[in-house]
Amino acid sequence: MNELKERILNEGHVIGTDILKVDHFLNHQVDPVLMAHIGDEFAKHFKGKGITKVVTIESSGIAPALMTATALGVPMIILKKQPSKVLNERLYQTQVNSFTTGKNYDLCLSADVITSDDHVLIIDDFLADGEAVTGAIRLLRMVHSTVAGIGILIEKAFMPGHQKLKAQGYNVYSLVKIKSLEDGTVKFED
């Protein structure tokens, strides 16, 4: 997706050799117009897969996931990063290690909002080691739903996430694939 590549080149900041900061249009400030284009692109790609729900992981995936759910005409589910005192009936949990913060967190899903009839599209902002998406898949399996596809905005293709998910047979579509972040420069695949 050229629009997203251009925003990364113009507004992204590389930190070290593995972190790309996109706080100006995706993670802290969010551009609603870009999010709508991203939602349309995912909806176009996954059209015909019988998607009944879009699932994302709080909180940076929420904006693109909402626009994808809007374009597909289905509800969005937010997997919460920790149980609150409000969310606790029929709650499934799984532990995930965050690549960004290095910390563990619990990801939560209520069996009230996704069932075995659902065909789910997972949307997330970044794919690096695939830990967050793998955690989401574990939860979606616990409620016996079908993972029909995985849509990623920015894939770090030099990390093992995509290969791990592909090896398990998942349909992963990344809008942008980054080959390297070395020398403070973003290099895309192809």
In terms of CB distance, is 1 or 62 closer to a copy of itself?
62
Pairing verdict, β 187-188 and 53-57: unpaired
- First CA to last CA distance, the chain: 12
In terms of CB distance, is 143 or 190 closer to a copy of itself?
143
CB of 168 to a copy of itself, least distance (A): 26
- Among positive and negative, which fits the CA dihedral 59, 61, 64, 68? negative
The site that binds a copy of itself (CB under 8 A) totals a number of residues, namely: 40
14 to each of 56, 130, 179, 181, 183, how far by Cα in Å?
25, 20, 13, 7, 9
Q: Is 58 in the site for a copy of itself (CB under 8 A)?
A: yes
Q: Is 182 in the site for a copy of itself (CB under 8 A)?
A: no
Q: Using alpha carbons only, how large is the chain's radius of gyration in Å? A: 16
- From 6, 9, 17, 23, residue interacting with a copy of itself (rule: CB under 8 A): 23
* Chain positions contacting a copy of itself, by CB under 8 A: 15, 19, 21, 23-24, 27-33, 35-36, 58-60, 62-63, 66-67, 69-70, 73-78, 80, 84-87, 100-102, 110, 112-113
